[in-house]
């Protein structure tokens, strides 16, 4: 699981992604095969192997314990690290630079291009990883495939929906908003009914969430044209989303507090925040931090920009990657495959709330495919199962996405301090992202 955004599905999108990857690889100064020229042989039967694994996935400790109990010859030592954007990736990159990286690590989908640019991932196709393709949802599988080479085993994603307090919506005679216009109307109605209550918050420090909203609106921030990256963050679709939240902020019908912070958790508990547009993994966040609200929540599809449409987006998504310098690559790959496909492992990860599983058949018959008492006996994951089929998977990532996120965070936070708007923050991030890519020696153009 993670909090930050993600992904694709069509053959055309895949072709474009491979072209984009060629740019990343060329920027590394060589071909994909230059990253790990030799092929390690598996250890002999009975020989003990120790693997180091860094992750912040909820429930992964139980899955690792299960592996160690059933695979005595390959022992995995888990180190829980901060979420990637909260220090995990900085720790990984420092370890890669010093030559002391773990054998395996959790890497979010949007971060894979940047790790490739830094020559930090092992070519897993050399070790037979291509055989695993049919075990996974195709578009998630493609997140770790670049230049026809596998670099990561998919783990989970984050199709989005609307979590809402069904008891309060019923009390105030509010129907879950089917459109963003209805969302704005509901925001006003909620705040009128209770001046201490708000429909949601705009988390100015979490631009990955905003990215997912732009994605749902039809934005395509990044693309490839020949040997050139295209950057179109300030597209009409994105500016529409930014202006929408600017309007709600000016009308004072939303909060602007950080998400995943103590104040925000308290607001989930008290009903000061009555809904959350979030990924499927948000269920564990709510139930784990507001247990006293059990039975008072429900899930609806994301509000739509066009009435009658059915468009979702993805927020989050992670893979298990083998990092450069791994001493036992065949065994590391074996563990990564097991972690993300073994039913017992997946069930333990699901119990921890790690996200929407990447396994091709993981949803049906799993704990996800059952009514939930916490969510009012709703079989709420049906909403996310449909959302997973309604994502524009032509979305692409650039190798400098972390910098883009920071530019947006800075701009949004400045807007809250009275310096600009969310719209101007997007416009400034466009200019800054173009410069970021140019500094990496990559060709860049603007527009789609």
Cα atoms found within 13 Å of the Cα of residue 128, Cβ hemisphere only? 11
CATH assignment of 11-158+314-388?
A: 3.40.190.10
DSSP string, 118-174: TT-B---GGGTGGGGGGGB-HHHHGGGEETTEE--EEEEEEEEEEEEEHHHHHHTT-
What average pLDDT score do residues 103-120 get?
A: 95
Same fold, 11-158+314-388 and 159-313+396-446: yes
Q: Which three-class secondary structure string do you get for 365-408? A: CCCCCCCECCCCCECCHHHHHHHHCCECCCCCCCCCHHHHHHHH
What average pLDDT score do residues 425-442 get?
A: 97
**By the 8 A CB rule, do 340 and 185 touch?**
no
Give the pLDDT of residue 2. 40
What average pLDDT score do residues 148-153 get?
A: 96
CA distance 319 to 109: 6
Which residues, at least 6 apart from 401, have a Cβ–Cβ distance to it below 8 Å? 110, 111, 113, 114
Sorted by where each begins, the domain ranges of the chain are 11-158+314-388, 159-313+396-446
What average pLDDT score do residues 181-202 get?
A: 99
pLDDT, one tens digit per residue, over 248-266 is 999 999 999 999 999 999 9
**By the 8 A CB rule, do 246 and 423 touch?**
yes
CA distance 20 to 25: 9
| Of residues 323 and 227, more confidently modeled | 323
**Cα Rg, the chain, nearest whole Å:** 22
Closest CA to 318 of 100, 65, 53, 67: 53
Q: Distance of CA 258 to CAs 179, 262, 387, 412, Å? A: 24, 9, 26, 12
**Rounded percentage of the chain residues whose pLDDT exceeds 90:** 81
**By the 8 A CB rule, do 292 and 269 touch?**
yes
Cα atoms found within 13 Å of the Cα of residue 143, Cβ hemisphere only? 32
Give the pLDDT of residue 225. 87
Give the pLDDT of residue 58. 83
Residue 270's pLDDT band (cuts 50, 70, 90): very high
- Domain spanning 159-313+396-446, CATH class: alpha beta
Residue 10's pLDDT band (cuts 50, 70, 90): very low
What average pLDDT score do residues 6-32 get?
A: 41
pLDDT, one tens digit per residue, over 331-368 is 999 999 999 999 999 999 988 888 899 998 888 888 89
pLDDT at residue 33 is higher than 80:
no
Give the pLDDT of residue 448. 57
Closest CA to 186 of 176, 195, 201: 176
Structure tokens at 351: 């119990």
What average pLDDT score do residues 277-301 get?
A: 96
Buried b / exposed e over 367-382, threshold 16 CB at 10 Å, is ebeeebebbbebebbe
Give the pLDDT of residue 286. 96
Closest CA to 390 of 309, 306, 308, 299: 309
pLDDT, one tens digit per residue, over 67-107 is 999 999 999 999 999 998 889 999 999 999 999 999 999 99
Structure tokens at 38: 């030799």
Phi-psi region of 259 (alpha: psi -120 to 50; beta: other; left: phi over 0): beta
DSSP string, 329-345: HHHHHHHHHHHHH-HHH
pTM for this entry: 0.85
Give the pLDDT of residue 226. 86
Closest CA to 25 of 138, 128, 148: 148
Give the pLDDT of residue 23. 56
Phi-psi region of 119 (alpha: psi -120 to 50; beta: other; left: phi over 0): left
**Rounded percentage of the chain residues whose pLDDT exceeds 70:** 92
pLDDT at residue 11 is higher than 50:
no
Residue 30's pLDDT band (cuts 50, 70, 90): very low
Structure tokens at 54: 């860094």
CA distance 266 to 249: 21
Give the pLDDT of residue 26. 44
């Amino acid at each position: 699981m993670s909090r930050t955004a993600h992904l694709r599905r069509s053959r055309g999108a895949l072709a474009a992604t491979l072209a984009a990857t060629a740019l990343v690889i060329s920027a590394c100064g060589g071909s994909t095969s230059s990253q790990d020229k030799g092929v390690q042989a598996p250890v002999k039967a009975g020989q003990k192997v120790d693997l180091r694994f860094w992750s912040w996935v909820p429930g992964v400790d139980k899955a690792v314990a299960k592996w160690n109990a059933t695979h005595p010859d390959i022992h995995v030592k888990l180190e829980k690290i901060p979420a990637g954007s909260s220090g995990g990736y900085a720790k990984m990159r420092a370890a890669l630079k010093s030559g002391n990286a773990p054998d395996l690590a959790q890497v979010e989908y949007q971060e894979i291009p940047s790790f490739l640019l830094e020559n930090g991932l092992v070519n897993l196709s050399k070790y037979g990883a291509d055989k695993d393709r049919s075990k996974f949802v195709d578009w998630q599988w493609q997140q770790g495939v670049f230049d026809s080479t596998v670099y990561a085993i998919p783990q989970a994603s984050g199709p989005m929906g609307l979590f809402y307090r069904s008891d309060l919506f019923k009390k105030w005679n509010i129907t879950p908003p089917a459109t963003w216009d209805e969302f704005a109307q509901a925001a006003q109605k909620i705040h009128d009914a209770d001046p201490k209550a708000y429909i949601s918050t705009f988390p100015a420090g979490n631009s990955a969430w905003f990215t997912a909203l732009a994605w749902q609106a039809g934005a395509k921030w990044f693309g490839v044209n020949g040997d050139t990256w295209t950057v179109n963050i300030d597209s009409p679709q994105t500016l529409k989303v930014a202006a929408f939240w600017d309007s709600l902020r000016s009308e004072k019908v939303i909060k602007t507090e950080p998400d995943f912070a103590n104040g925000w958790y308290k607001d989930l508990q008290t009903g000061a925040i009555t809904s959350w547009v979030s990924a499927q993994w948000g269920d564990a966040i709510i139930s784990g931090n507001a247990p006293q609200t059990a039975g008072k929540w429900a899930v609806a599809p994301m509000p739509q920009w066009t009435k009658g449409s059915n468009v979702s987006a993805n927020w989050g998504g992670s893979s298990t990657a083998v990092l450069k310098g791994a001493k036992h690559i065949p065994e590391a790959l074996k563990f990564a495959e097991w972690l993300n496909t073994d039913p017992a492992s997946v069930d333990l990860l699901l119990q921890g709330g790690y996200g929407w599983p990447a396994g091709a058949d993981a949803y049906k018959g799993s704990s996800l495919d059952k009514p939930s008492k916490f969510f009012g006996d709703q079989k709420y994951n049906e909403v996310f199962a449909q959302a997973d089929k309604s994502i524009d998977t032509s979305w692409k990532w650039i190798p400098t996405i972390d910098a883009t996120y920071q530019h947006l965070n800075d701009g949004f936070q400045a807007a809250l301090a009275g310096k600009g708007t969310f719209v101007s923050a997007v416009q400034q991030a466009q200019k800054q992202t173009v410069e970021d890519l140019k500094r990496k020696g990559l060709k860049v153009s603007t527009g789609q």
